[in-house]
């Protein structure tokens, strides 16, 4: 995600097409011979011949996450509902209503999830894939849901201290607990699958970004490891803008962990390492870096116009998108072997997610609609099978 966004409590929405379509074609990759320097190691990473044996495309939908190797959760436009109109001091806009579905890649059948009369978004499965979290967009009261793996609602989450942006940043801590930023209390909220809510208050100070998007501080991508919470701050013009911080729950203290300009970060599946995309303004590039939980022993895996980096479930590989001119495409870095591969060339976008087996990657792209308006685009979900 692009961390230079204005945090207005409203997510960017792309317009979806109507019918789900599927096409197959053989993927071709091209070699990239750029050397990437590894800090504290002279080994180079070369982009080798790759990577994708087949790509299935699904038009008019965005795929968010995998339930298993054959089922994904998608969102698509509900043409039977009237568009949602937003008319307030922050935004004037109209959005087509989207709903969530479980989609079977083999049978091409889909199953609706929850209340289809409302705008649904942001579905993510728990690590064991037994539970799903999602939220309703553009409701007067921000609402999240925890459902079972088939989309049957178990818990409805509403709290006066939780707003829509907070819910958009939800992350699973483990199989039974979620963490979200909670700007109204300047901290975090922990949500259990039984609906229990625990609040961690006064982690930060001052005006929050939900009150003043241009000057306030905003918390994003919270992740909990033991008694510590790692998170990214956006604070325009301040020393802690685009920084990874860590908060010690027992000591009630926070500190800046990584002083680089961090655009995105995530924990490895075993929660022993941090993967981050940082901005190197001297080179005018982004750097894909792995570091330990103390912010030390940094290794640069790749550099360029990088975003959307995601760990494989076994922690051995990282997939990312490059939109660097002439080198656009989906790449994979084998973290242990230190080999970088171009999986498939082309223009791709987030969301991007590995399948549970690590044999497939789901990534988003777009294409022009078949009409007379040149800028009218439809979303496409690509399921890439690796060699």
H or E element at residue 164: helix 164-168
Residue partners of 31: CB distance under 8 A and separation at least 6: 47, 48, 49, 342
Residue partners of 365: CB distance under 8 A and separation at least 6: 346, 347, 348, 349, 379, 380, 382
- Diameter of the chain measured on Cα atoms: 61
Question: pLDDT category, 302, cuts 50, 70, 90?
Answer: very high
Better pLDDT: 89 or 55: 55
Answer whether residue 163 shows pLDDT above 60.
Answer: yes
* pLDDT tens digit sequence for 176-235: 999 999 999 999 999 999 999 999 999 999 999 988 988 999 999 999 999 999 999 999
85, burial (CB in 10 Å: exposed 0-12, middle 13-18, buried 19+):
exposed
Residue (of 74, 79, 71) closest to 61 by Cα position = 74
* pLDDT tens digit sequence for 36-69: 333 333 234 444 555 667 899 999 999 999 999 9
Answer whether residue 7 shows pLDDT above 80.
Answer: no
Instruction: Give the domain ranges of the chain.
Output: 22-59+306-387
pTM tops 0.75: yes
Answer whether residue 146 shows pLDDT above 90.
Answer: yes
Q: How many C-beta neighbours within 10 Å does residue 360 have?
A: 21
Radius of gyration from C-alpha coordinates of the chain: 20
* pLDDT tens digit sequence for 215-231: 999 999 999 999 999 99
Q: How far apart are the first and last CA of the chain?
A: 27
Distance between CA atoms of residues 99 and 151, nearest Å: 12
Residue (of 267, 308, 301, 210) closest to 6 by Cα position = 210
Q: What is the DSSP string of 336-377?
A: TTTEEEEEEES--EEEEEE-TTSSEEEEEEEEE-SSS-TT-E
User: Residue 10 has what pLDDT?
Assistant: 33
User: Residue 38 has what pLDDT?
Assistant: 35
Distance between CA atoms of residues 73 and 112, nearest Å: 10
Better pLDDT: 113 or 374: 113
């Amino acid at each position: 995600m692009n961390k230079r966004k204005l945090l207005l409590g409203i997510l960017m929405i792309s317009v979806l097409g109507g019918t789900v379509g599927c096409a197959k074609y053989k993927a071709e990759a091209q070699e990239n011979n750029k050397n990437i320097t590894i800090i504290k190691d002279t080994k180079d990473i070369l982009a080798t011949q790759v990577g994708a044996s087949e790509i299935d495309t699904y038009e008019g939908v965005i795929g968010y996450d995998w339930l298993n190797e054959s089922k994904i959760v998608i969102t698509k436009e509900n043409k039977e509902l009237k568009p949602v109109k937003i008319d307030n001091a922050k935004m004037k806009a109209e959005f087509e209503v989207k709903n969530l579905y479980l989609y079977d890649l083999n049978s091409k059948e889909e199953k609706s999830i929850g209340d289809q009369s409302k705008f649904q978004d942001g579905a993510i499965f728990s690590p064991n894939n037994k539970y799903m979290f999602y939220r309703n967009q553009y409701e007067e009261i921000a609402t999240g849901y925890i459902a079972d793996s088939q989309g049957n609602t178990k818990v409805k989450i509403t709290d006066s201290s939780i707003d829509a942006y907070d819910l958009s940043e939800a992350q699973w801590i483990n199989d039974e607990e979620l963490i979200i930023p909670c700007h109204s209390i300047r901290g975090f909220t922990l949500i259990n699958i039984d609906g229990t809510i625990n609040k961690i208050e006064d982690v930060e100070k001052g005006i929050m970004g939900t009150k003043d998007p241009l000057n306030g501080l905003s918390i994003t991508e919270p992740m909990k490891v033991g008694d510590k919470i790692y998170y990214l701050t956006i604070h325009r013009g301040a020393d802690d803008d685009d920084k990874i911080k860590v908060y010690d729950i027992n000591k009630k203290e926070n500190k800046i962990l990584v002083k680089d300009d961090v655009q995105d970060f995530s924990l490895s599946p075993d929660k022993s390492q941090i993967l981050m995309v940082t901005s190197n303004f001297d080179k005018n590039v982004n750097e894909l870096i792995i570091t330990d939980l103390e912010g030390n022993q940094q290794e640069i895996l790749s550099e360029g116009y990088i975003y959307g980096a995601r760990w494989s479930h076994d922690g051995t590989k990282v997939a990312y998108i490059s939109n660097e001119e002439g080198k656009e495409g989906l790449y994979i870095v084998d973290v242990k072997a230190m080999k970088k591969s171009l999986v498939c060339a082309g223009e791709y976008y987030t969301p991007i997610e590995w399948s549970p087996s690590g044999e497939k990657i789901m990534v988003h792209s777009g294409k022009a609609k078949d009409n007379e308006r040149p800028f009218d685009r439809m979303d496409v979900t690509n399921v890439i099978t690796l060699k």
